[in-house]
């Protein structure tokens, strides 16, 4: 374990097991028409996304969207930027947004709002982590990996100041690193 990490919250094995369950649920739910566009919300969900889509048992179309609300800190700025939303064509498609963590809910609320205007056939949300205590804006999550306590976590795609994304597990970052 890295010295910057206070505690491993979710091990590689535990995440892998949960991904298989989520993949099975998604496979069953979309079994009928098997047309699914999975959208990876960058950058935080790139690791989760790559693992999750390989747990779905029919061919999936993948797309990538940037969403940013943090600028080097550990709390959201409150403003969400989605610079390339025009390049993803979701019209008439079953869309699954794949996010790393829902915190205030602002990122997903903004993404949902933006994409619904482009008239997808359906729009669902899958998040690896959920911090329900921190919610400011209500969002319905369809698939959730784990609920986590109100602690700053890194690894498995999640960063602090663009670091720690490559850790294979999810750990709680020591407070002295970000305060």
Check binding of 125 to ligand IMP (CB under 6 A). Answer: no
In 54-130, alpha helices (H)? 106-116
| Among the residue ranges 50-58, 73-81, 99-107, 134-142, the one whose residues contact Mg ion (CB under 5 A) | 99-107
Cα dist. 85→8, 101, 110, 157 in Å? 34, 20, 11, 21
Check binding of 153 to ligand IMP (CB under 6 A). Answer: yes
Answer with the entry of Mg ion, ligand IMP, none that 102 interacts with (C-beta below 5 to 8 A by kind): ligand IMP
Check binding of 44 to ligand IMP (CB under 6 A). Answer: yes
Check binding of 51 to ligand IMP (CB under 6 A). Answer: no
Is 103 tagged catalytic? Answer: yes
Residue with tokens 């979309």: 30
Residue closer to ligand IMP (CB basis): 18 or 110: 110
Per-residue tokens: 57:
């048992």
Check binding of 101 to ligand IMP (CB under 6 A). Answer: yes
Considering 103, 113, 142, 161, which one is annotated as catalytic? 103
Question: Least separation, in Å, of the C-beta of 104 and ligand IMP?
Answer: 3
Residue closer to Mg ion (CB basis): 36 or 65: 65
Q: Is 175 left (phi over 0), alpha (psi -120 to 50) or beta?
A: alpha
Which residues, 39 to 78, sit near Mg ion by CB under 5 A?
44
In 30-172, alpha helices (H)? 46-53, 106-116
Per-residue tokens: 121:
């056939």
Per-residue tokens: 156:
């498995």
With CB under 6 A, what is the number of residues at the site for ligand IMP? 17
Edge-to-edge strands of the sheet including 5-10?
A: 5-10, 170-173, 153-154
Beta bridge partners of 98: 40, 126
Name the site residues for ligand IMP (rule: CB under 6 A).
44, 69-70, 76, 99-107, 152-154, 158
Catalytic residue list: 103
Name the site residues for Mg ion (rule: CB under 5 A).
44, 100
């Amino acid at each position: 374990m890295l010295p910057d990490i206070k505690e491993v919250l979710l091990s590689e094995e535990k995440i892998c097991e949960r991904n298989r369950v989520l993949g099975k649920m998604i496979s069953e739910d979309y079994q009928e028409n098997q047309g699914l566009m999975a959208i990876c919300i960058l950058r935080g969900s790139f690791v989760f996304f790559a693992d999750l889509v390989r747990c779905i048992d029919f061919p999936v179309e993948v797309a990538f969207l940037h969403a940013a609300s943090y600028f080097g800190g550990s709390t959201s700025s409150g403003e969400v930027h989605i610079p390339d939303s025009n390049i993803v064509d979701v019209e008439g498609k079953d869309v699954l947004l794949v996010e790393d963590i829902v915190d205030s809910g602002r990122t997903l609320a903004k993404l949902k709002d933006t994409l619904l205007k482009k008239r997808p056939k359906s729009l669902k949300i899958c998040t690896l982590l959920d911090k329900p205590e921190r919610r400011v804006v209500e969002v319905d999550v369809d698939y959730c990996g784990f609920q986590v306590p109100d602690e700053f976590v890194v690894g498995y795609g999640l960063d602090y100041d663009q670091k720690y994304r490559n850790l294979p597990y999810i750990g709680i970052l020591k407070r002295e690193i970000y305060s």
